[in-house]
């Protein structure tokens, strides 16, 4: 591989490292001076659990807590807190000097990501397996408190064996202290968890409370109880990977939002993801310099929706074609794939996109897709990110599995989320908008600011065949054509003002960019309340 050196000046002003002051106080056999002890402690802290454990960490294909922080943050921007904190446990021989590590099992501090402030904690697996002591929890709480105060996101890099068993209830208390702050910070500053090793037992609830949970493929696990306990309790044979690996959580459980190949990939992607987020709920969505003309026409959209309404197409094609530079950071790409959610930019400004995916299960709404969509919409609303919704939905998925699972309750979440959202909301109906699902998908009735329909749109209670069967009890085959003529088009919605305009698909980007400009000054408030009662 060729070595590259760049004139590297992209990053924001450097925050200098704390400079070490090396003062030698004579060479007689005295106990070390304070400056010497400081230096020694710092050196020890930098080594974490020692070279052999660092090597073992590398052998597992994982980076150390400090390497991760350095990769995540801009060069020379990391400011570390609490390097001298040590655990306070005096049981089971823990009080011995050899069992004390400066900084204990977590590295905390703040720094910059592309020049923007972020607080970060990185659990150190080389120190007691990254286990959570009272001191460890206290360090995390300290940065969370400050992050909430100054208004900057918190990023957690999780790699921990769980509670510090030697500390007993103090460790549990530590978890709860973190949970409380996760909850209090929720909707105040973005919170992101990146699982980079084990995360088991009570520890899982902190990532679960954060806004986004990402995982590293093959080296990270999330579960309430590990395979051994599962075996002894339920007699079920399961591997770590099957029980709580990245595949399980990104595709089956929906606990994690995305998985990355390895530590480096994950951290670099996290930097990219961070660029989309505002720093806090008081911050507007960030705007980046944009080379992609906001008035760019997208001619291929004119032909993207197939003539046959039964034929699928890929909603991602529409999204990629419309957004700036085809860049779309998809959230939960492998879970509930019948709905697509993620971040992109329009004319440089971050937006959240929600779209039905006709390619998967016809883009219907079911329990999983409703919950996935609802959580995303609420994040965007909490952090001032405008919502763009692309609608091609044949309705809610029928059947006992869905009804028994509570589709009514879960579908209501998406409805609730769209209805309460006060950020700019722009909706484009590309094809089907049938039944209750039409209402749910950011319709005009739920305070959609600008609602468009493409010429291919059909806004109706249901498809023509079913409708005619109900209206004429099976006797009106001739009426199907009439129904199609009446309802399988965008006019019924347009003449009532339920869509603001019927637009040529090629102009969609231009229209959205223009509307976002106008809606940037939108002010809308919900009635005063302690908090709403979303149907959980």
Partner 1 sequence: MDKILPLQVHVKMADEAVCVGPAPTSKSYLNMDAIMEVIKKTRAQAVHPGYGFLSENKEFARRLELDGITFIGPDTHAIQAMGDKIESKLLAKNAKVNTIPGFDGVVKDADEAVRIAREIGYPVMIKASAGGGGKGMRIAWDDEETREGFRFSSQEAASSFGDDRLLIEKFIDNPRHIEIQVLGDKHGNALWLNERECSIQRRNQKVVEEAPSTFLDPETRRAMGEQAVALAKAVKYSSAGTVEFLVDSKKNFYFLEMNTRLQVEHPVTECITGLDLVQEMIRVAKGYPLRHKQADIPINGWAVECRVYAEDPYKSFGLPSIGKLSQYREPLDVPNVRVDSGIQQGSDISIYYDPMISKLVTYGSNRAEALQRMEEALDNYIIRGVTHNIALLREVIIHPRFVQGDISTKFLPEVYPDGFKGHKLTDLEKRELLATAASLYVSCFVSQQVEVDGTKLNVTSEWNLASPLLPVTVDGTPRTMQCLSRDAAGNISIQFLGTVYKLRILTQLAAELSKYMPEKVEEDTTSILRSPMPGAVVAVSVKPGDMVSEGQEICVIEAMKMQNSLIAAKTGKVKIVHCKAGETVGEGDLLVELE
Residues annotated catalytic, as ranges: 201-202, 436-437
Query: For partner 1, how many residues bind (rule: CB under 8 A)?
Result: 49
Closest CA to 378 of 421, 408, 339, 427: 421
Interacting residues of 527 by C-beta distance below 8 A, sequence separation 6+: none
Interface region with partner 1, contact rule CB under 8 A, candidates 62-70, 94-102, 170-178, 478-486: 62-70
Tokens representing 276 are 């989309």
| Residue 262 interacting with partner 1 (CB under 8 A) | yes
Cα–Cα dist 152/160, whole Å: 24
Backbone angles phi, psi at 443, to 5 degrees: -75, 170
Minimum separation from the CB atom of position 7 to partner 1 (A): 6
Count Cβ atoms below 10 Å from residue 129 Cβ, excluding itself. Answer: 18
Binder of partner 1 out of 13, 32, 50, 61 (CB under 8 A): 61
Cβ distance to partner 1 smaller for residue 23 or 268: 268
Binder of partner 1 out of 46, 47, 71, 519 (CB under 8 A): 71
Binder of partner 1 out of 230, 264, 360, 519 (CB under 8 A): 264
Minimum separation from the CB atom of position 199 to partner 1 (A): 19
Applying the rule CB under 8 A, the residues between 73 and 102 that interact with partner 1 are: 75
Interface region with partner 1, contact rule CB under 8 A, candidates 167-175, 188-196, 261-269, 393-401: 261-269
Q: Which helix (H) or strand (E) holds 471?
A: helix 464-472
Interface region with partner 1, contact rule CB under 8 A, candidates 57-65, 245-253, 355-363, 511-519: 57-65
Minimum separation from the CB atom of position 259 to partner 1 (A): 13
Tokens representing 137 are 């929890």
| Residue 63 interacting with partner 1 (CB under 8 A) | yes
Minimum separation from the CB atom of position 268 to partner 1 (A): 4
Closest CA to 390 of 426, 419, 416, 365: 426
Applying the rule CB under 8 A, the residues between 289 and 328 that interact with partner 1 are: 290-293, 296, 299-304, 307, 317, 320-321, 324-325
Binder of partner 1 out of 9, 98, 473, 529 (CB under 8 A): 9
Residue 195 in 3-state DSSP?
strand
Interface region with partner 1, contact rule CB under 8 A, candidates 21-29, 140-148, 255-263, 518-526: 255-263
Backbone angles phi, psi at 341, to 5 degrees: -130, 155
Count Cβ atoms below 10 Å from residue 343 Cβ, excluding itself. Answer: 23
Minimum separation from the CB atom of position 344 to partner 1 (A): 13
Question: What's the burial of 264, exposed, middle or buried (CB within 10 Å: 0-12/13-18/19+)?
Answer: middle
Binder of partner 1 out of 219, 368, 369, 389 (CB under 8 A): 219
- Please report which residue ranges of 48-166 form alpha helices under DSSP H: 51-59, 65-72, 134-150
Q: What residues does 156 pair with on adjacent strands?
A: 121, 193
| Residue 263 interacting with partner 1 (CB under 8 A) | yes
Minimum separation from the CB atom of position 115 to partner 1 (A): 12
Tokens representing 217 are 């493929």
- Contact between 427 and 450 (Cβ < 8 Å): yes
Q: How far apart are the first and last CA of the chain?
A: 53
Minimum separation from the CB atom of position 106 to partner 1 (A): 20
Q: What residues does 260 pair with on adjacent strands?
A: 216
Q: Could you list the residues that contact partner 1 (CB under 8 A)? A: 1-10, 58, 60-63, 67, 70-71, 75, 218-219, 260-265, 268-269, 271-273, 290-293, 296, 299-304, 307, 317, 320-321, 324-325
């Amino acid at each position: 591989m060729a070595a590259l050196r760049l004139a590297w000046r992209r990053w924001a002003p450097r925050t200098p490292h704390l400079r070490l002051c090396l003062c030698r106080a004579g060479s007689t056999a005295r106990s070390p001076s304070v400056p010497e002890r400081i230096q020694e402690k710092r050196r020890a802290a930098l080594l974490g659990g020692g070279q052999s454990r660092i090597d073992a960490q590398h052998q597992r294909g994982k980076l150390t807590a400090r390497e991760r922080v350095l990769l995540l943050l801009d060069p020379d921007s990391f400011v570390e807190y609490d390097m001298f904190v040590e655990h306070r446990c005096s049981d089971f021989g823990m009080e011995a000097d050899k069992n004390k590590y400066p900084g204990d099992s977590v590295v905390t501090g703040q720094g910059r990501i592309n020049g923007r402030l972020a607080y970060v904690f990185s659990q150190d697996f080389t120190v007691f397996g990254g286990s959570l002591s009272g001191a460890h929890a206290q360090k995390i709480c300290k940065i969370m408190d400050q992050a909430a105060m100054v208004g900057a996101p918190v990023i957690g890099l999780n790699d921990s064996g769980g509670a510090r068993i030697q500390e007993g209830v103090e460790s549990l208390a530590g978890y709860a202290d973190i949970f409380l702050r996760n909850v209090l910070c929720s909707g105040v500053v973005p919170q992101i968890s990146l699982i980079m090793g084990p995360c088991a037992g009570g520890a899982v609830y902190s990532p679960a409370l954060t806004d986004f949970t990402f995982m590293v493929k093959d080296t990270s696990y999330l579960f309430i109880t590990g395979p051994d306990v599962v075996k002894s309790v339920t007699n079920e044979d399961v591997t770590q990977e099957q029980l709580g690996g990245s595949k399980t959580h990104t595709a089956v459980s929906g606990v994690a939002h995305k998985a990355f190949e390895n530590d480096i990939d994950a951290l670099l992607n996290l930097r990219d993801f961070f660029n989309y987020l505002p720093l806090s709920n008081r911050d507007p969505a960030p705007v980046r310099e944009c080379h992609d003309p906001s008035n760019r026409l997208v001619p291929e959209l004119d032909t993207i929706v197939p003539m046959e309404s039964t034929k699928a197409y890929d909603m991602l094609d529409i999204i990629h074609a419309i957004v700036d530079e085809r860049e779309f950071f998809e959230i939960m790409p492998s879970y509930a794939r019948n709905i697509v959610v993620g971040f992109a930019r329009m004319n440089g400004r971050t937006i959240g996109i929600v779209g039905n995916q006709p390619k998967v299960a016809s883009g219907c709404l079911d329990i999983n897709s409703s919950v996935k969509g609802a959580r995303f919409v609420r994040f965007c609303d909490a952090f001032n990110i405008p919502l763009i919704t692309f609608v091609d939905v044949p309705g809610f998925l029928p059947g006992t599995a869905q009804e028994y699972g509570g589709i009514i309750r879960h579908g209501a979440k998406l409805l609730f989320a769209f209805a309460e959202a006060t950020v700019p909301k722009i909706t484009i109906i590309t094809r089907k908008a049938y039944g209750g699902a039409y209402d749910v998908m950011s319709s005009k009735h739920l305070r959609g600011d600008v609602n468009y329909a493409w010429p291919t749109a059909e806004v109706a209670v249901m498809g023509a065949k079913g409708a005619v069967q109900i209206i004429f009890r099976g006797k009106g085959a001739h009426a199907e054509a009439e129904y199609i003529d009446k309802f399988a088009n965008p006019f019924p919605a347009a003449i009532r003002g339920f869509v603001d305009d019927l637009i040529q698909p090629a102009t969609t980007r231009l229209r959205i960019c223009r509307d976002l400009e106008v809606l940037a000054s939108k002010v809308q408030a919900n009635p005063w309340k302690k908090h709403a009662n979303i149907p959980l």
